Structure 1
Amino acid sequence: MKLPNSTYTARAWALADIAPDFRVEDVWMLPAGGSPDEFPELVRQIAAGEGAFEGERFAVLIYVARQKLGAWFGWDRPEHGLGTRAISLRERLPQDAGYERGPDQRGAPWTSVYCTDREWVTEYASRTVHALMLVGWVPEGGVHRGEMTVLVRPNGVLGRLYMAGIRPFRRLVVNPAFFRMVERNWDKSRADRRPGVQ
């Protein structure tokens, strides 16, 4: 479920102080909830990407089309990525904060920045945009639930046009497919961990 962008600023995320120059693209409630100590399991599942886009033909088609466009126009060349055109957000982390790096996402171009007991941040950079994904664990009604925020810093006019062009595909196809994967994996792992389940 999509949440108002103001949801991000209402939370006391460490990321807000680390990346004030990134704008919120969107905020979503994730189909995963549980106890305070289950957040590492959610991070592990998303990073592993098990069953990613399983049965999601349209999402796969969009992903392949994006890869081809990136190759044709040179958007994803190494000189446009992290450490070259874009400085990794890890360079901004307070030296004395002791942030753990966290896992990278398998099969995806996202690199982990840091992971705490309630927020995990990954980043991606290309010729078009430097993007961040925050997965958080939010207390609500006696339980905790997952929340995902995407923040971006477009690279000039090209970046703004790119974000405007992909926005409907992200919101209508790619994100819902991602959320279905999260829900499948979360429900399965909770059932496997439930006492008495074989």
Structure 2
Amino acid sequence: MKLPRTSYTEQPWRAHEFTRDFRVEDVWSFRTPGAGPGDFPVMLAAMRAGGRMDEQPLLVRALFELRWKIGALLGWDAGEAGLGARVGSLRDRLPDELRATTDGVAAGDHPLVPVYVLDDESVSELANKTVHTLMHLGWVPTGDADGGHELRMAVLVKPNGLFGRAYMAFIAPFRYLIVYPALTRQWERAWRNRDRAPHEDGAAPTR
């Protein structure tokens, strides 16, 4: 479900310290019934187990494949347009204790690179010729009497000039009508099937 930007900006996330030059583009919520305050690592593990691109609907996969083909043709995703070249990684802004939270963590089968992960939030990033994008995942109380929590995703962007802003405007209908609804179904299903996901030992650092 789409949420107002304030539902991200009014939360006390560590990410605010490092992302003041990024714009909050989208905020989305995902239902996680039965979730408690300590279940964020469980949700992340469930998403890794049940959130692969090859499990997305055919239309979503086709959209991403088309985007990668166009990007390859026009050089949008070339090395000189990405992290450490056109823009610096957000990791360069972090204190050592936050950078250490993703040491050795692989990006998986998607292009987003892990930046940091805590007990109730995580950030990953992507940069190309169009935009520098951050995906923030947060674990937020629902306000229910049972102390329930839900997953929220915020997408933060720094478009690359007029071209980047035009690109973000062009893909907005595809995000809202196709990509985010499919992602909602996939991640909420991953939570329901979490008992099948491999749980990770080791505590995330506290805030």
Normalized against structure 1, the TM-score is what? 0.89
- The alignment's C-alpha RMSD in Å is 2.1
The 5 Å alignment of 1:52-71 reads 52=53, 54=55, 56-71=57-72
For residue 172 of structure 1, the aligned residue among 161, 172, 177 is 177
Give the corresponding residue for 1:21: 21
Normalized against structure 2, the TM-score is what? 0.86
Q: Does 1:126 align with 2:132?
A: no
From the two aligned structures, give the one with the greater strand fraction.
Answer: 1
Give the corresponding residue for 1:31: 31
Q: Which amino acid aligns with 1:126?
A: N
Give the corresponding residue for 1:82: 83
With over 3 angstroms needed to count, the CA separation of the structure-2 counterparts of 1:176 and 1:150, relative to structure 1, is: same
Q: How far is 1:54 from its partner?
A: 2.8
Q: How far is 1:86 from its partner?
A: 1.2
**Contact 1:48–1:105 (CA under 8 A) maintained in structure 2:** no
**Contact 1:46–1:105 (CA under 8 A) maintained in structure 2:** no
Give the corresponding residue for 1:185: 190
Higher RCO (CA-CA < 8 Å; seq separation 6+) = 2
Identity %: 42
Q: How far is 1:44 from its partner?
A: 2.1
* In structure 1, C-alpha distance between the alignment counterparts of 2:187 and 2:141, rounded to whole Å: 19
With over 3 angstroms needed to count, the CA separation of the structure-2 counterparts of 1:44 and 1:12, relative to structure 1, is: same
Gaps of 5+ in 2: 199-207
* In structure 2, C-alpha distance between the alignment counterparts of 1:98 and 1:80, rounded to whole Å: 23
Residue by residue over 1:89-114, the C-alpha shift from the partner in whole angstroms, topping out at 9 and shown as x without a partner, is 00001235575127444211100000
* In structure 2, C-alpha distance between the alignment counterparts of 1:79 and 1:192, rounded to whole Å: 37
* In structure 1, C-alpha distance between the alignment counterparts of 2:56 and 2:126, rounded to whole Å: 25
Q: Which runs of 4+ in 1 moved over 3 A?
A: 47-53, 95-99, 102-105, 190-193
* In structure 2, C-alpha distance between the alignment counterparts of 1:30 and 1:53, rounded to whole Å: 20
Q: Which amino acid aligns with 1:72?
A: L
**Contact 1:86–1:125 (CA under 8 A) maintained in structure 2:** yes
The 5 Å alignment of 1:67-146 reads 67-95=68-96, 100-101=101-102, 103-140=105-142, 141=144, 142-146=147-151
Gaps of 5+ in 1: 194-198
